[in-house]
Amino acid sequence: MKRLRLGLWACFCLCAATTLMGQNKVKTTAEKVMLFIDGAQVTRTKQVDIPAGNSTLIFTGLSPYMDAQSMQVSAKGKLTVTAVNRQYNYIDSLAVSEKQQSLQKELKKIEKQQKEQNAELGLINAEYEMLKTNCSVSNKNTATSLATIKEVNQYYSGQLKTLKTKELAINEQIAELAIKQGQLSSELAQLSGKSLTPMSEIMVNVNAPAACKATFTLNYYVKNAGWFPSYDVRSGSLAEPISIIYKANIFQNTKEEWKNVELSLSSSNPSTGSVAPTLSTYWLDYGLTAPRYNLNLNGNTVSGIVLDNERTPVIGATVTIPGTTIGAITDISGKYSITIPNGQNKLQFSYIGYQTQTRDIQGNIMNVTLQEDTQALDEVVVVGYGAEKKPLMAGAVSGLKVNHKKDIQYEEEASMALDVEQSQGQMGYEFEIKVPYTIPSDNKPVVAEIGHYELPASYTYQSTPKIDKDAFLIAQVTDWEKLNLLEGEANVYFENTFIGKSIMNVTQQNDTLSFSLGRDKRIMIQRTKENEYTSRKFMGSNQTQSIAWKLSVRNTRPEPVTLTLYDQLPVSRNNNITVTAEEISGGSLDEAKGIITWQITLQPGEQRDLALRYKVKYPKGRNLIIE
């Protein structure tokens, strides 16, 4: 039995050695990266020496968040690719960074110093014991003089004082070393993280009739990376053009190193603010109430803190609005702030190793606790592919590039703006950065300026006093389609002052881009109910209820302004209920939606009063809720 076991063990070792001899580990570097709104497409190439016969190449150091289904491997050379498989490498994941190695060396150095200091304390304690043992000068046969006793006491007293001073100094050094050890240990723990993530590897089996050189290209999609747009919008006054600075907020935590890569950005997605409110249709029928608006959402800005299940702030968590390109990243305290466009009522919170959460927006403050994803990377997934050789993806995922020249003028700031070529594909826009770019895998956003434009603009004010009595300054820009803008958050500056945040809303279906530049308190608006016109009358089988509102507008600015006011009438969807507008002071009524629009121009210091009066007729004995 023992010989049998030895024989089996020898066979096992021989097979293992043979397998390892046929494998060649290949380290590659990322050369091209196409960043999407969510995720990235990575391209790597490497020339490899291939022996004759069957062999296995293992491409190492790939992201654990790679989508195995997206992997494409192509080879140029006299060989055949027979199989492609994905596996996880738990050994390489134990390798620490240079910073971690440096910290570990410092910790070992401190431990050595602590041992030396403790050894010094041991020697001092031994000297204490020797002094105690030999401090007596008495002799049974000979009398000791008083001078001798004094001399001996002075000697021992001096020795004890010296030893005590050394002991105090050593204890202080030990305390300092302990503090430094704690700081280094804490920093090392933060770098190491809570758990180790195994790296991905791609095993490629090849067959070559003779030894040759072959160039391999790996192309795959990876998660935990992306970008989102943001803007700086500036205007010096109502007479000056609009300045738009287009910025890309880039982040990645793929565990890969992207150093000096050819970087492109794509708008495709393979996987108290300054937003002017809008009205909902006021449907009128039995049992229906007037439209409700989220008045708790003050100014369309939501902020809060993202924590983990240990109540620790999560740094670098992604906060997005589902279905849009609007997003934010939590800071070092786990805090975030994001502006919500009209019609959106959900936020999505995500971070590596935690379950993604989608929450309804309930108010301006939303604190979220993320739960660890216990299913992540629990199983090793191996995916096989056929031996058919096929080329790499032609072009980018977003489609064929169509380069065009912009017939608008723009400016580039040499100190900030990057050399970027913009193009339009079938599925969105692309921005090709012309200089090599480095993005560390730390999930911290890297902000790159990809455009700077000066555009002529017209200005108007807009107010919906039923929801918000402030007047919002609206800038209107034409020919904006040529800028390849995406929906995103904007920092607004007016008259050299930061006004707040707004939304660059490019989803509107017209040739004029309108966005809010903030509130102007110098346009004063009031909406009050006129009780003397409000009444209820009964006639036959019906009853009629009259409603009246008064809108007062005043311009305290030193120049004339154009103002658009919005209000509404209820809209009936019951034949027994009729709504009649009695007075709208020259406003325009959209009968299908019940929206009334006033376009007025106010001179400096001018005040204008507008009347909104309507009546509702419906059967007697029925209860109808009317605002």
pLDDT, position 190: 67
Task: Report phi then psi at 365, rounded to 5.
Answer: -115, 120
The pLDDT-based confidence of 4 (bands split at 50, 70, 90) is: very low
pLDDT, position 508: 67
pLDDT, position 424: 61
Based on the fold, state whether residues 156 and 241 are members of the same structural domain.
Answer: no
The H-or-E segment that residue 170 falls in is helix 146-192
Last residue of a domain, one of 434, 454, 474: 454
Last residue of a domain, one of 184, 207, 222: 222
As to burial, measured by CB atoms within 10 angstroms (0-12 exposed, 13-18 middle, 19+ buried), residue 157 is: exposed
Structural domains of the chain, count: 4
- List the one residue out of 447, 448, 494, 450 whose CA is nearest residue 474: 494
pLDDT at 141 over 60: no
The pLDDT-based confidence of 138 (bands split at 50, 70, 90) is: low
Instruction: Please write the tens of the pLDDT for every residue from 197-254.
Output: 678 889 999 999 999 999 999 999 998 899 999 999 998 888 888 899 999 999 998 8
Instruction: Tell me if 212 is assigned to some domain.
Output: yes
Based on the fold, state whether residues 255 and 402 are members of the same structural domain.
Answer: yes
Pick from 235-239, 291-295, 534-538: least confident: 291-295
pLDDT, position 196: 52
Q: What is the mean pLDDT of residues 68-87?
A: 87
pLDDT, position 399: 30
pLDDT at 564 over 90: yes
CA separation for the pair 84, 204 (Å, rounded): 5
CA separation for the pair 528, 547 (Å, rounded): 11
Give the pair of three-digit tokens for residue 409.
Answer: 């003028």
Q: What is the mean pLDDT of residues 531-554?
A: 88
Instruction: Tell me if 233 is assigned to some domain.
Output: yes
What CATH number did the domain enclosing 594 receive? Answer: 2.60.40.3680
Instruction: Tell me if 333 is assigned to some domain.
Output: yes
Pick from 238-252, 275-289, 423-437, 584-598: least confident: 423-437
Pick from 15-29, 123-137, 238-252, 559-573: least confident: 15-29
pTM: 0.55
Based on the fold, state whether residues 70 and 116 are members of the same structural domain.
Answer: no
Pick from 39-53, 97-111, 269-283, 414-428: least confident: 414-428
pLDDT, position 296: 56
CA 473 to chain centre: 29
Encode burial over 217-230: b for 16+ CB neighbours within 10 A, e otherwise: bbbbbbbbbbbbbb
Residue 577 belongs to what domain range?
Answer: 525-619
Give the pair of three-digit tokens for residue 344.
Answer: 């959106």
Based on the fold, state whether residues 35 and 142 are members of the same structural domain.
Answer: no
pLDDT, position 398: 31
Contacts of 526-529 spanning 24+ positions with Cβ under 8 A:
526/465, 526/469, 526/550, 526/551, 526/552, 527/465, 527/466, 527/469, 527/551, 527/552, 527/567, 528/552
To the nearest 10°, report the CA torsion of 463, 467, 470, 473.
-40
The DSSP line for 409-478 is -B---TTTB--EEEEE-SSSEEEEESS-EEE-SS---EEEEEEEEEE--EEEEEEETTTEEEEEEEEEEE
Based on the fold, state whether residues 443 and 412 are members of the same structural domain.
Answer: yes
pLDDT, position 541: 87
Pick from 87-101, 391-405, 572-586: least confident: 391-405
pLDDT, position 106: 87
Based on the fold, state whether residues 338 and 431 are members of the same structural domain.
Answer: yes
Instruction: Tell me if 509 is assigned to some domain.
Output: no
Based on the fold, state whether residues 77 and 107 are members of the same structural domain.
Answer: no
Instruction: Tell me if 1 is assigned to some domain.
Output: no
Based on the fold, state whether residues 120 and 208 are members of the same structural domain.
Answer: no
β-bridge mates for residue 157, sequence order: none
pLDDT at 137 over 60: no
Based on the fold, state whether residues 39 and 181 are members of the same structural domain.
Answer: no
Instruction: Please write the tens of the pLDDT for every residue from 337-389.
Output: 888 887 788 999 999 888 999 998 888 889 999 998 765 544 333 333 333 33
Helix axes 98-134, 146-192, angle to 10 degrees: 160
pLDDT at 406 over 50: no
Instruction: Tell me if 160 is assigned to some domain.
Output: yes
pLDDT, position 94: 46
Based on the fold, state whether residues 446 and 583 are members of the same structural domain.
Answer: no
Based on the fold, state whether residues 233 and 188 are members of the same structural domain.
Answer: no
Based on the fold, state whether residues 254 and 371 are members of the same structural domain.
Answer: yes
Instruction: Please write the tens of the pLDDT for every residue from 468-525.
Output: 999 998 888 887 777 778 888 889 898 888 888 888 877 765 778 877 788 888 999 9
- What does pLDDT average to over the chain? 80
Q: Which residue has the higher pLDDT, 251 or 445?
A: 251
Instruction: Tell me if 511 is assigned to some domain.
Output: no
What CATH number did the domain enclosing 42 receive? Answer: 2.60.40
* 399 contacts 425 by C-beta, under 8 angstroms: yes
Pick from 2-16, 303-317, 455-469, 559-573: least confident: 2-16
Instruction: Tell me if 481 is assigned to some domain.
Output: no
Q: What is the mean pLDDT of residues 558-574?
A: 93
